Structure 1
Amino acid sequence: MTIHLIPGAPAAMAGERSFTLENAAGMTVTIGERGAQLRAWVAPDRYGRMADVVQSDAAGPPSGGRSARWEGRQADGVVSLALTSGGDGAGMLVHYRLDDEGGLSIEYQAVAGVPIPLASLAHPAFNLSGGLAGVGDHMVQIDADYFEETGPAGTAAGVAAVGGTAFDFRQAAAIGPRLRWTDTQLQRAGGFDHCFCCRNHFTGGQGQLREVARVFDPASGRRLQIHTTEAAVRFSSGAGVPGLQRLDAFRIEAQARPGLMSAAWPRVMLHPGQVYRQTTVYRLSLQA
């Protein structure tokens, strides 16, 4: 995969285009150029009723400031979006693919112009009921033995074992009841907005594409499975989703490594000229 830089990109786009992918089951995914965002994902429930399970994408301005611009194209069942951030040699390429089994593959390739920390690149917020109800009954499972704690100032404070805490999702648990636990971490963040260290990847770094989390909505029968090459995922619900109420949606997004700034666990940095690749697959299906 080759990064494509777009020379002389203007400071703002005259108009934003969107692209739609469709699979054999009639599932559709819409991607917008602004921020290379996932805008909609329309899929059936167990009764065949179609609904959009994407509630928001809070990606905000694309990296690179005012001079950054995404430009998309669609060909051979793939939506590709390229970003340039000016004359510093930086750029990013994103590919979206939707297969007939409901797997949405998101592949990133980035080249840094200045040293930047690796972080999450996509921020879609989901509600598997299609907005007909909240996500309090959604069952979440995350293959993580450790999570990143938040300090009083809202910054990363350390890594703790999930055992015996509200953050133990090694067995599936409903979001709503967990938010009612008496837990200092939940109080500080106003809900879940924490990084989870995926099992066997505590030290960071990338691995083979693997399933690390899954969410199931008993009412609709929809199930979302998350596969990634990354070392961590960030789970948010009840907090940190701009424009949405407490239990309107949830987010699970891949991260290169939790953002803890310490000598024992430094933040992963991408230096000028280095190439970074990431693959995440969200698979939406029905569960009996």
Structure 2
Amino acid sequence: MKLAGVILLLMTTAIAHGSVTKSSFGKSADGTPVDKYTLTAGGAEADIITYGARLQALKTPDRDGKIDDIVLGHDDMSGYLADKSTYVGAIVGRYGNRIAHGAFTLDGKSYQIPKNNGENALHGGPIGFDAKVWQAHEIANGVELTLVSKDGEMGFPGTLTVHVRYTLSAHGKETVLRIDYHATTDKTTIVNVTNHAYFNLAGQASGSILNEIATLPADEYTPVDAGLIPTGIAKVAGTPFDFTKPTAIGARIGDDNHQLKYGGGYDHNWVLRGHNGELKTAAKMVDPVSGRVLTVTTTEPGVQFYTGNAIPAPLNGKGGAVYQKNAGYCLETQHYPDSPNHPDFPTTTLKPGETMHSTTIFTFTTQAK
């Protein structure tokens, strides 16, 4: 028993549980105060702002111990209010990704979401969760943010209450950013909530991500039409979408492939292996220059790998950085796009008395040259 107690003590002290501090980040367009919560653990730091429940900054060490901010974003509210299209760092919903023609049927009733992406609805319509100021309070090692989306808002049925928890911890040389999502409704609805952070493991001001090495443990993906709406499920084998083995992001992004032309690069959903609601690996990313490694695990069935093809270059970023196309990539853990219109896809329906729960974990390590 004494030996077990010593082992438990060693295991406990190996986990650095950091601190949380709150500060002002300005005001939204309507004058609502926006707060910033800074999470620190083991030399790493994550900044969460209540506008869009966004990951505003994430600072981690490279292989030599040099700290860099590795997510794209803006220094202040003026940048976020001026940026109308990237959803940078935000929690997106009520339905992340696209719904064809903004239309779906639920329990025999038709619903219409305002179109904001050509003929389709994207990330919940023109005023989604990214454009809201969330309520927030400090929790152990992190912050919990809450948003109530009223019945009929953007055309969605049911009053939906969403809680998102960010926590940061350090486990030896690993930095772990965890996001937990919970949602409940008073009327049958659909929900697909995710985070839209853009990563650049070499640093947010370092330029292109095309030399980073990506591995996606998915044998299938959902090909799309010209409006980026899924047309079904297809094998990745023999296509530029096969990342089952480590491959540079830019190795095939310019191939003569109609799917890549539709997205202007990668902007597709990968079907993760063995989905059963438990944590599974969704991606592993490696930056050969800095040595940073990002491993993503999730309870979600899919991941949207988006290579920043539509960043409106030049876009002014943090610390004087100017973002161009491919300045960052998103790994949006999710249910598949347009799922309400595809009965064969995993369901996004949420009913009264049920709780939607989802977890995604971003683990950062380094590797030697």
Give the structure-1-normalised TM-score.
Answer: 0.86
Deviates more, 1:236-245 or 1:252-261: 236-245
Instruction: Indicate conservation of the 8 Å contact 2:220/2:271, yes or no.
Output: yes
Query: Does the 8 Å contact 1:230/1:257 carry over to 2?
Result: no
TM-fit CA distance, 1:255: 0.5
Tell me if the contact between 1:139 and 1:173 (Cα under 8 Å) persists in the aligned partners: yes
CA distance in 2, matches of 1:54, 1:69: 21
Alpha-carbon distance between aligned partners in 1 of 2:234 and 2:311, rounded to the nearest angstrom:
24
| 2:70 is equivalent to residue 53 of structure 1 | yes
Percent identity of equivalent pairs: 31
Contact 2:92 2:196 in 1 (8 A): no
Is 1:254 the equivalent of 2:333?
yes
1:185 paired with 2:259, answer yes
Query: Distance between the aligned counterparts of 1:262 and 1:140, measured in 2?
Result: 28
Distance 2:159 2:258 in 1: 44
**2:281–2:296 contact (8 Å) kept in structure 1:** yes
Paired residue for 1:138, among 201, 212, 220? Answer: 212
The answer on whether the counterparts of 2:218 and 2:271 sit within 8 Å (CA) in structure 1 is: yes
Q: Once the two structures are superposed, what CA deviation does each residue of 1:210-231 show, in whole Å capped at 9, x if it has no partner?
A: 2221100000001111010111
Task: Confirm whether residue 21 of structure 1 aligns to residue 39 of structure 2.
Answer: yes
| Cα gap change, 1:75 to 1:158, in 2 (>3 Å) | closer
- Specify whether residues 58 and 115 from structure 1 end up closer, same or farther in structure 2 by C-alpha distance, changes over 3 A only: farther
Aligned to 1:236: 306
Shift of residue 12, structure 1, vs aligned partner: 5.2
Aligned to 1:218: 288
Q: Would the alpha carbon gap of residues 281 and 266 (structure 1) be closer, same or farther in structure 2, given more than 3 Å must change? A: closer
1:173 maps to 2:247: yes
Corresponding residue for 1:4? none
Deviation at 1:50, TM superposition (A): 1.3
Consecutive unaligned residues of structure 1, counting only runs of 5 or more, are 1-10
> What is the correspondence of 1:29-178 to structure 2 with a 5 Å cutoff?
29-56=46-73, 57=88, 59=90, 63=94, 69-86=133-150, 89-100=159-170, 101-130=174-203, 131-178=205-252
Q: Does 1:264 align with 2:344?
A: yes
SS in 1 for 2:295: strand
Checking the alignment, whether the CA contact within 8 Å between 1:259 and 1:267 is kept in structure 2 is no
Cα deviation, residue 270, structure 1: 1.9
Counterpart residue identity of residue 33, structure 2: G
Question: 1:120, CA displacement in angstroms?
Answer: 3.9
Partner of 2:324: 245
TM-score (norm 2): 0.68
CA distance in 1, matches of 2:326, 2:180: 29
**What amino acid sits opposite 1:184 in the alignment?**
H
Unaligned runs of 5+ in 2: 1-28, 74-87, 95-123, 152-157, 316-322
1:284 deviation in Å?
Answer: 1.2
Q: Does the CA contact (< 8 Å) of 1:12 and 1:69 recur in 2?
A: no
1:281 partner amino acid: I
Q: Larger C-alpha radius of gyration, 1 or 2? A: 2
The separation in 1 between residues aligned to 2:335 and 2:93, in whole angstroms, is 18
**What letter matches 1:95 in structure 2?**
R
**CA distance in 2: counterparts of 1:62 and 1:119, whole angstroms:** 6
